[in-house]
Amino acid sequence: MAPRQKPFDVERFFQALADRTRLRLLNLMGGQEICVCYFVEILGQPQPKISRHLAYLRNAGIVSARREGKWMHYRIVMPSNTGAARVLQGILAWLKEEKSMQADRARLTRACCAPKKFVTLQGAPSPALAGMEPASTSR
């Protein structure tokens, strides 16, 4: 028996997008895989809060996590539902146009270029470009 891929949960999908912090996280990921410590540094918000929102996105199937030693890397996974995937791409493109989101990305770039300037980022792994893989069995 095939594992019977559960139907895409539209409500959960939009719920996941209905929070500014989560949108900021998604905007920072947009295309690349990023370490949690960058999120904490750049959003300037308590680590448990960041972690909770990342968990929410994970449970909604919008991002996946990869462990690398002490660090956790998050990336966006495109929904297998093609309509949802197109919409998500559109949303990411929209975010890129927003001023505050551009500011976030600019800070990310600066942090990546000079991680030594951030006490909290000593030795943190740099974000790496990551092709958006289709949703797989990983959770």
* Contact set with DNA (CB under 7 A): 12, 15, 18-19, 21, 35-37, 40, 45-56, 65, 67, 69-72, 120, 122-124
Q: Which is nearer to DNA, 51 or 89 (CB)?
A: 51
- Note whether 87 binds a second copy by CB under 8 A: yes
Residue 75 CB neighbour total at 10 angstroms: 20
Contact call for residues 29 and 42 (beta carbons, < 8 A):
no
70 binds, among DNA, a second copy, none (CB under 5 to 8 A by kind): DNA
Please name the residue that has the structure tokens 């990023």: 34
Q: Considering only residues 10 through 39, tell me which ones interact with a second copy, judged by CB under 8 A.
A: 10-15, 17-20, 23
- Note whether 6 binds a second copy by CB under 8 A: no
Give me 40's structure tokens: 């904490």
Three-class SS of 66-134:
EEECCEEEEEECECCCHHHHHHHHHHHHHHHHCHHHHHHHHHHHHHHHCHHHCHHHCCCCCCEECCCCE
In the DSSP assignment, the letter for residue 61 is T
Q: Which is nearer to a second copy, 20 or 49 (CB)?
A: 20
Sole binder of a second copy in the list 52, 55, 90, 109 (CB under 8 A): 90
Q: How far is the CB of 69 from DNA (least distance, A)?
A: 3
Residues that bind a second copy (CB under 8 A): 10-15, 17-20, 23, 83-84, 86-87, 90-91, 93-95, 97-98
